[in-house]
Every structure is written in structure tokens, then in C-alpha cells.
Structure 1
Amino acid sequence: MSAITLRLPDDNHQRLKTLAEMRGMSINQLLNEMTTLLLADFDAETRFRLRAARGRGKTERGLALLRKAMG
């Protein structure tokens, strides 16, 4: 596990502290949860871009499949 130092404006720190308290967790747990969600979004976008690259030149086939799926 790694440790980092994060510099935040005092106002943001206080708001994060309040949010963490409202959720019954530490700021560390809150930031870990937030980074996990952000990384999951990044992973999904990466997978989408890879699939899109593999599908280049297959636009018409993809649109036909969408039309079929929509009924």
C-alpha cells in the first residue's frame, strides 16, 4: 500500500471531513472510495476505446445491430 500527501484548500478539506463524517467513514476511506469509482470509469472508457478501435470500418454493421436490438 502506498501513502500520498494531498494538498487541499482548507475549505475543501473541511467539506471532505464533513462528508466523510456524514457517511460514517474516515477521509482516507472516502478518498479511497472516490478514486476506486474514478478508476472504474477510466477502465470502462479504456475498454470502450479499444472496442471502438476494433470496430473501425464496421459502422454500418454496428448500426444494423442497434436497429435490430431496438426492434
Structure 2
Amino acid sequence: MSTLTIRLPEDKHLRLRKLAEHRSMSINKLMEELATISITEFDAETRFLARAKRGSVKKGLALLDKLDAAFSK
């Protein structure tokens, strides 16, 4: 496990501390959770963009039309 030192404005640190307390966890665990969420979002966006480059606009729009039709019933 690595150690990371970050600099935050005092007000942001206080708000993070209160959020961690509200969730009954340490600030360390909260930061780990937030980092995991951010990495997951980044990975999903990266995969989406890579697949979009290989895909077809026409097929993508057709798929969205199918989804729209399925959910508008």
C-alpha cells in the first residue's frame, strides 16, 4: 500500500471529514472509495471512446432508436 500526501484548502478538508463521519468511515477509506469511483468512470469513458472509434454512426443511431422504441412503450 502506498502513502499519498495531498494539499487541500481547510474548508474542503473539513467537509471531507464531515462526509466521512456521516458515512461512518475514516477519511482514508473515503478517499479510497472516491478514487475507485473516479478510476472506474475514467476506465468506462476510455473503453467507450475506443469502441466508438471502431463503430459505425449509422449502427449506433439505429441501436439508440431501438432502445428509444423499447422504453417509450
TM-score w.r.t. structure 1 length? 0.85
What runs of 5+ residues in structure 1 fail to find an aligned partner? none
Q: Distance between the aligned counterparts of 1:29 and 1:40, measured in 2?
A: 16
**Number of equivalences:** 69
Task: Please list every run of at least 4 consecutive aligned residues from structure 1 whose deviation after the TM superposition is greater than 6 angstroms.
Answer: none
Matched-pair identity in %: 55
2:35: which partner in 1?
35
Unaligned runs of 5+ in 2: none
1:66 lines up with 2:56 in the alignment: no
Cα RMSD (Å) of the superposition?
A: 1.3
Distance change (3 Å), C-alpha of 1:66 and 1:4 = same
TM-score (normalizing by structure 2): 0.83
